[in-house]
Amino acid sequence: MKSPSNLPAVKILPSLLAADPGHLAGACQAVQAAGADGLHLDIMDGHFVPNLSFGPDFVRMARTVAPDLYRHVHLMVTRPDELADAFMDAGAQTLLFHVEARAEIRPLIAHLRNRGVVPGLVLNPETPAEAVRPYLSDIDEVLLMTVHPGFGGQSFMKEVLPKIAEIHALAPGLPISVDGGVTLESATWCAAQGANYLIAGTALFRSPTMAGDIIAMRDACRAAYPKP
Ligand code: DX5
Ligand code: ZN
């Protein structure tokens, strides 16, 4: 995951959950035009988390209106094994599911890979790094929740920072993403511990200068990322 200049491949992924629900297509196009590295789509089933959000048609919509924007799909659902195919059919390029969900983890990872989709696992704030350790060589990304999943606009949980460093030490080449309460400031704290994918909803969508904020976040995180 090192770029040619030996800098980490830092990616900034705006979360569509924070966009105006009346203008989601325009929001996808704005994220693409702002130079983001991809679009984060939060899928909630009203069971794993107490909220509902997007179904597969929203992923399909993003592919149609902003075809060059990478689709990074986060399943916050109790049965990811039952829903994964619908989201892959719709155009998910990375598909992440929770270790706390009810699914056979290895077979589902293998299924995603067989379908040409990048597999990743997600940990809730209280879930220890130990829970993902057996799967670190099977996946291409670990996402660490830095809020309780289900809603945008919450405050970043600083207590998750040591877990980033722990996973970075266990699997130094594995991309680590953080999701929840990510601002320019908290993104930099995360990058300093070894996170290189920064997912930000409210901070980027509430800003009138998304393109500039993406550049600032990417530059600050590259500078903060641990030197080899
Ligand atoms: C929370 C979601 C996040 C959310 C982040 O359950 O997984 O992706 O959109 O939103 P902010 O950046 O507003 O915390
Ligand atoms: Zn998310």
User: Residue 201: CB within 6 Å of ligand 1?
Assistant: yes
Average pLDDT, the chain: 96
Ligand nearest to the CA of 200: 1
| Ramachandran sector of residue 55 (left: φ over 0; alpha: ψ -120 to 50; beta: rest) | beta
pLDDT tens-digit profile of 162-200? 999 999 999 999 999 999 999 999 999 999 999 999 999
Q: Which residue in the list 37, 42, 45, 213 is annotated as catalytic?
A: 42
Ligand 1, pocket-test mutation among 48, 147, 177, 214, most atoms within 8 A of CB:
147
Average pLDDT over residues 137-144: 98
pLDDT tens-digit profile of 75-102? 999 999 999 999 999 999 999 999 999 9
Comparing CA positions, the residue from 150, 185, 203, 193 lying closest to residue 18 is 203
Token code pair at residue 46: 């009203």
| Ramachandran sector of residue 54 (left: φ over 0; alpha: ψ -120 to 50; beta: rest) | beta
Q: Which residue in the list 37, 45, 179, 213 is annotated as catalytic?
A: 179
Residue 46 has pLDDT above 70, yes or no: yes
Average pLDDT over residues 93-122: 98
Average pLDDT over residues 134-155: 98
Token code pair at residue 220: 């600050």
**Contacts of residue 137, Cβ cutoff 8 Å, sequence gap at least 6:** 171
Distance between CA atoms of 210 and 7, rounded to whole angstroms? 23
pLDDT at residue 6 in the model: 56
- The CA 129 to ligand 2 mean position distance, Å, reads 18
User: Residue 182: CB within 6 Å of ligand 1?
Assistant: yes
Token code pair at residue 76: 């916050």
Residue 33, Cα to own-chain centre: how many angstroms?
Answer: 19
Burial class of residue 142, CB neighbours in 10 A (0-12, 13-18, 19+):
buried
pTM: 0.97
Ligand 1 closest atom vs CA 200:
12
**Beta strands 11-14 and 176-179: pairing type?**
unpaired
